[in-house]
Structure 1
Amino acid sequence: MSHLPNRSKDTPWVLTTPPGTSEYTMHVDEKDGMRILVCTVGTTVLHYDARCIDDLHAMLTAAGDWVELGGADEQKPAKDGTVEAWGRSAENPIGGWYGLKKGLRGRFAVYVPPLMEALGVCELEHNARNNRMRAK
């Protein structure tokens, strides 16, 4: 069962990053027959495989406790054991990056967790840095 309802470009989720410092929108679309999340941050548009919502929820449920976010740009390494590292790991359910636009595949742990919080499937911390999340 998917935790992700359809939301179009006309009715996106309006979200803020975990520290509350930046606002952005997300909506659901389809590209090349795949359901995707479209994340718009100012003029930058990122795409994530929509399966990430259910897959990340399953990972957090299995973890059973808080997991550090560890958000990082694609060009920077992700700290082991973080949501960001999982979102690009060959060990996750899709075998690699949930981010779909080369050069903009990172920051998974910055933009996806607030959407999951809005959907009511996780708890998310909102500190200035080093935030964590866990499944609800």
Structure 2
Amino acid sequence: MAQEGTKENPWKLKTPPLTSDYEMYKDIKDGKEVIVCVVGKTTLLYDFRCLQDLHQMLKKHGDWMELGSADEQKPAKDGTVEAWGRSETNPVGGWYGLKKGLRGRFAMYIPPLMEKLGLAEVTHDSKGNKIKAK
């Protein structure tokens, strides 16, 4: 079996409310490790280091944290994973999303990958999902 998380064998995931399927894989773009997220015909890119950075932040937080997913053009609710994923105070000093116009939805697509990789637990309710570090 080919290694999972490659373009040839991507991680197959579902959004936290389990309503939509999408795929992710690790790649290199412009010399940088990225996570490629393919949702239907849309391709998003996230800085690969977000997995480690988010895991460390959640461990420090110590409890469940609301995801608060939002499109780039909409404000993120304070205290959520989405707000942290675009905050000037996170380790990259801003957006983990790398594709202008499609940098949001960090909290929709990254937490299920973290769950699959054994780094976190994610709730799967219809709304208001949360994440906690393992």
Cα deviation per residue 1:90-121 (whole Å; 9 max; x = unaligned)? Answer: 00000000000000000000000000000011
- TM-score where L is the length of structure 1: 0.95
Q: Which residue of 2 aligns with 1:12?
A: 10
- TM-score where L is the length of structure 2: 0.97
State whether residues 6 and 28 of structure 1, in contact with CA within 8 Å, keep that contact through their aligned partners in structure 2: no
Q: Percent identity?
A: 64
Q: Which residue of 1 aligns with 2:78?
A: 80
Instruction: Kindly indicate whether residue 60 of structure 2 is the aligned counterpart of residue 62 of structure 1.
Output: yes
Local SS of the residue matching 1:79 = coil
Cα deviation per residue 1:69-88 (whole Å; 9 max; x = unaligned)? Answer: 00000000000000000000
Displacement of 1:6 after TM fit? Answer: 7.1
Q: Which residue of 1 aligns with 2:20?
A: 22
Q: Which residue of 2 aligns with 1:130?
A: 128
Local SS of the residue matching 2:23 = strand
Give distance in 2, aligned partners of 1:114 and 1:7.
13
Give distance in 2, aligned partners of 1:110 and 1:119.
16
Give distance in 1, aligned partners of 2:4 and 2:90.
24
Give distance in 2, aligned partners of 1:78 and 1:96.
13
CA RMSD of aligned residues (A): 1.0
Give distance in 1, aligned partners of 2:32 and 2:65.
28
Local SS of the residue matching 1:112 = helix
State whether residues 15 and 115 of structure 1, in contact with CA within 8 Å, keep that contact through their aligned partners in structure 2: yes
Displacement of 1:8 after TM fit? Answer: 1.3
Q: Which residue of 2 aligns with 1:121?
A: 119
State whether residues 123 and 135 of structure 1, in contact with CA within 8 Å, keep that contact through their aligned partners in structure 2: yes
Q: Which amino acid aligns with 1:56?
A: L
Local SS of the residue matching 1:59 = helix
Local SS of the residue matching 1:133 = strand
User: Aligned pair in 2 of structure 1 residues 31, 47: CA closer, same or farther (>3 Å)?
Assistant: same
Equivalent residue runs for 1:17-56 within 5 Å:
17-56=15-54
Q: How many residues align?
A: 132
Q: Which amino acid aligns with 1:129?
A: K
Give distance in 1, aligned partners of 2:4 and 2:54.
18
Give distance in 1, aligned partners of 2:123 and 2:44.
23
Gaps of 5+ in 2: none
Cα deviation per residue 1:46-75 (whole Å; 9 max; x = unaligned)? Answer: 000000000000000000000000000000
Local SS of the residue matching 2:18 = coil
